Structure 1
Amino acid sequence: MRDPNLIYEVDEDVAAELQQSSEEQAGVGPVLLHVVSGFVDAGGAGQVATDHLRETFGSRRLATFDVDQLIDYRSRRPMMVFDSTTWSSYAEPELVLDVVSDAAGRSFLLLHGIEPDVQWERYAAAVRQLVERFDVPLTIGINGIPMGIPHTRPLSFTAHATRAELVADHVSWLGTVQVPASAASLVELRLGQSGHDAMGFAIHVPHYLAQSSYPQASITALQAVERATGLELDVKALERPAADALAEIERQVEGSSEVGAVVRALEQQYDAFTDGRARSNLLSDTSEIPTADEIGAEFERFLAQQGGDDSAR
């Protein structure tokens, strides 16, 4: 493997400020929160959370990855704007590490941007270098995954970690399963193998909202991060957009008997499960529940009306 240090560049001035901040906080290094796009993120759970953190608290760029070495442009081409006779803009992909301060002034790190297409091991090793350089005590990843649950019930999540003690207080929703890998999952695995604490929260998002922006999923994710770290992330700022999204969902459900039937069926399954009368986990056979395909044209209209970029998440 080629030197991981050669795929990113650190702003030494920001690094010095971070080091001073860590010394002022009893020598405790910053937590690292990582949310990279490209893998499953149902409801935009991770992306909405990232946007909230950056917009609410601001950030300083600590490290920048060389995406030319990590991205396959032909597999997911960046967008450009052609204006009449000229190319006017280019949505340059980025993968960066920022320093953010929470509501109490405590610094934490936010790794965000596009998931690498290639050199995953080198990328994971680079993240490990940054974790070790800045004395990161805990690395946390968040994302959303589609599940057969209704929006009318409290959201749950799957917690995972490099040590069982880190998730001892969380209910295990899954047994042993084989799933496609992601760069974020590999980072967590490799950090654990090298003796560093890492964990993640996969928020369970109603499958019929997977392609829409669902701020409630981001609230659940950030609340889990707050409990795990003690950070104050101003989650209440997301309550209004979450309420607006819920109102629109309810309006759409009331206007469609097909969608309403699916929601009611999911409610029955969810309630039976939580009462201890259902099968062992929510990923088991769902043959008695209408699928997204069975919702038909009405369901497609429901997703389309979520609008804009959200429908393409």
Structure 2
Amino acid sequence: MVLRPEELVELLPEAEPFLAREEQVGAPGERRGLVLVHELAGEFDAAHAGALAGSHLLASLPHELIARFDVDALVDYRAHRPRMTFNGDRYESFTAPEILLYAVEDDAGQPFLLLHGAEPDFAWERFVAAIGGLVERLGVTSVVALQAIPMPVPHTRPVTVTAHATRRQLIESYPVYWGELRIPGSVPALLELRLGEAGVDALGVAAHVPHYLAQATFPAASLTLLEHLSRLTGLHLPIEPLREAAEAHRTEVDEQIARSPENTAVVAALEQQYDQFAAAREGNDLLSEVGEVPSGEEIGAEFERFLAEQERRRGD
């Protein structure tokens, strides 16, 4: 039986205050104006940067669960096998994937929503329609995606980002560096497209993760995502713990790279490419925000390598 979009999500009693307020709205200007942030973990979350950013927010800020999605209808368990615990002669536990919606308060007491969990494998259009229904019912007026993609950039330079939006005005301080690119689709991308078609402001930032760290962790990318989220929305977010984690991780990576002349040479070449681009853009006050952007061919190559590695790991 095919589920309708609204049947994919269960609203919990904690959502009632949001629903009740929006039911009293008589004009668009009276809407609450909530921000919905999403960082669904999937193929477009290199180094788990988006998921780490979301987990950090949940660990650092007051929050409550207001909705959960039907993962049995959305996630391919054989492609992303959940973990089970086997002890001696019996199975003891099963850790199911989750797709959860939280109401969170930032450091200034401002509420926002966070969609956290696995990217759906199935029913993309129905899932996106379900999110669209929640946007309308909960008073959301802005939706922001946090993602990360592998790029030929060095870990020794500031993390750069690509910004995208349904309206140019939402990201007018971010330059446009390339034209049309053909890339694999994702649920966050489809969500942004469909929200834009419905007249809802949707935008996002994708942190550029050094391709040699794309399968590991890279807290500096998570830190950058939250910095840009704060800049784009005005939310007051705790970032110092991530800054400390990024600094410690940088030291660890430096030590590992230094053990291999080949790796040292690769990083040095990436640094030269980055610095040449920076020098060419000297005087642009956006440089520290966006930095190096590789060619379309390099972007496509890194995507293909990253996705192939993801497929190989699932096969293993």
**Is the TM-score greater than 0.5?**
yes
**1:307 equivalent in structure 2:** none
Deviation of 1:69 after TM superposition, in Å, equals 1.1
Whether contact under 8 Å (1:148, 1:283) holds in the other structure is no
> Taking structure 2 as the reference length, what is the TM-score of the superposition?
0.84
Question: Within 5 A, what are the aligned runs for 1:267-278?
Answer: 267-276=271-280
Aligned twin of 1:219: 223
Residue 236 of structure 2 is matched in structure 1 by 232
Distance 1:54 1:138, change over 3 A: same
User: Aligned residues: percent identity?
Assistant: 43
Which of 49, 69, 85 is 1:81 aligned to?
A: 85
Structure 2 Cα separation of the partners of residues 185 and 54 of structure 1: 23
2:212 matched residue in structure 1 = 208
Structure 1: which amino acid aligns with 2:264? Answer: G
Q: Which runs of 5 or more structure 1 residues have no equivalent in the other structure?
A: 287-292, 294-313
Match of 2:72 in 1: 68
Aligned counterparts, 1:124-139, within 5 A: 124-139=128-143
Mapped contact 2:44–2:147 kept (Cα < 8 A) = yes
RMSD of aligned C-alpha atoms? 2.2
Match of 1:262 in 2: 266
Matched to 1:283, the amino acid is S
Q: What is the aligned partner in structure 2 of residue 50 from structure 1?
A: 54
Is contact 2:99–2:115 with CA below 8 Å preserved after alignment?
Answer: yes
Whether 1:283 and 2:287 are equivalent positions in the alignment is: no
Return closer, same or farther for 1:148/1:13 CA change in 2, 3 Å cut-off: closer
Tell me, yes or no, if structure 1 residue 181 matches structure 2 residue 185.
Answer: yes
C-alpha separation between the residues in 2 aligned to 1:284 and 1:68? Answer: 37
The alpha carbon displacement at 1:58 in A equals 3.7
Distance (Å, rounded) in 1 between the aligned partners of 2:68 and 2:224: 29
Distance 1:272 1:208 in 2: 21
Whole-Å Cα distance in 2 between the matches of residues 222 and 195 of structure 1?
A: 25
TM-score (norm 1): 0.85
| Structure 2 unaligned blocks of 5 or more | 25-29, 282-291, 299-304, 306-316
Structure 1 residue aligned with 2:175: 171
- The reply on whether 1:32 has 2:36 as its aligned counterpart is yes
CA distance in 1 between partners of 2:278 and 2:173 (Å) = 17
Q: 1:219 to 1:258 in 2, by over 3 A?
A: same
Alpha-carbon distance in 1 for matches of 2:16, 2:224: 31
Q: 1:85 to 1:206 in 2, by over 3 A?
A: same
Please give the alpha-carbon distance, in whole angstroms, between the structure 2 residues aligned to 1:18 and 1:262.
Answer: 53
